[in-house]
């Protein structure tokens, strides 16, 4: 009988201690800072942020991904695009993150050269409710090719491009706008 009493006393004590502790936590006021500038560097809209945003959209940032259409790597390059920038071995490309990063930069340089006149003419304009920026143009060129971006810009948004998964040039122009891509120099012959 004494063992039973002690057991029930211990259980009662534990239940009441836990309940009291939870009630104190429930009534505690928490203060969150308001209008604090944390100055977190990864929130800057610089070229690194641009690359990572495009990569996340393309492959969730995974280097070894090959999609159902055969596009490869973190930035989802087609084989012909890779050849243009000097990459012929796709197996080695998939296994080499550094090469994929260099490929993205080289392709941005080529697209910037191809689209240099359109960048000069179009940046700052609004087409179909989208403010045109250089980073948006480069991202759209990565999605649909520089030629399709030219057609879109020169037709004032009437010529529409959509990839096999439904992504459009308009979506990329908007999603990737206002990144600082000034460090990318136009280079027709850029290679890795």
Using one digit for the tens of pLDDT, what is the confidence trace for 70-129?
999 999 999 999 999 999 999 999 999 999 999 999 999 999 999 999 999 999 999 999
Length of the chain: 192
Query: Judging by beta carbons within 10 Å of its beta carbon (0-12, 13-18, 19+), is residue 163 exposed, middle or buried?
Result: middle
The pair of structure tokens assigned to 85 is 């920038």
Whether pTM exceeds 0.85: no
Say how far apart CA 75 and CA 27 lie, in whole Å.
Answer: 49
What secondary structure letter does DSSP report for 126? E
- Assigned token pair, 52: 């990572």
Distance separating the N- and C-terminal Cα atoms of the chain: 84
Q: What distance in Å separates the CA atoms of residue 133 and residue 187, rounded to the nearest whole number?
A: 19
Given CA atoms 41, 65, 73, 139 in this order, what sign does their dihedral have?
Answer: negative
Q: Give 125-149 pLDDT, tens digit per residue.
A: 999 999 999 999 999 999 999 999 9
Res 36: pLDDT = 43
């Amino acid at each position: 009988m004494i063992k039973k009493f002690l057991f029930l006393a211990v259980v009662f004590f534990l239940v009441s201690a836990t309940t009291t502790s939870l009630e104190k936590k429930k009534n505690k006021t928490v203060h969150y800072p308001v209008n604090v500038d944390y100055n977190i560097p990864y929130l800057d809209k610089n070229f690194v942020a641009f690359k990572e945003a495009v990569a996340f959209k393309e492959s969730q940032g995974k280097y070894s991904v090959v999609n159902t259409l055969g596009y490869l790597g973190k930035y989802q390059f087609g084989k012909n695009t890779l050849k243009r920038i000097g990459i012929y071995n796709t197996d080695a490309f998939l296994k080499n993150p550094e090469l994929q990063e260099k490929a993205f930069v080289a392709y941005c340089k080529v697209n910037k050269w191809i689209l240099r006149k359109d960048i000069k003419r179009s940046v700052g304009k609004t087409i179909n409710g989208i403010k045109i920026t250089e980073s948006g143009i480069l991202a759209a060129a990565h999605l649909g090719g520089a030629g399709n971006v030219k057609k879109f810009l020169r037709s004032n948004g009437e010529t529409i491009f959509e990839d096999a998964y439904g992504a459009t040039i308009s979506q990329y122009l908007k999603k990737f706008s206002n990144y600082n891509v000034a460090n990318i120099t136009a280079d027709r012959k850029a290679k890795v």
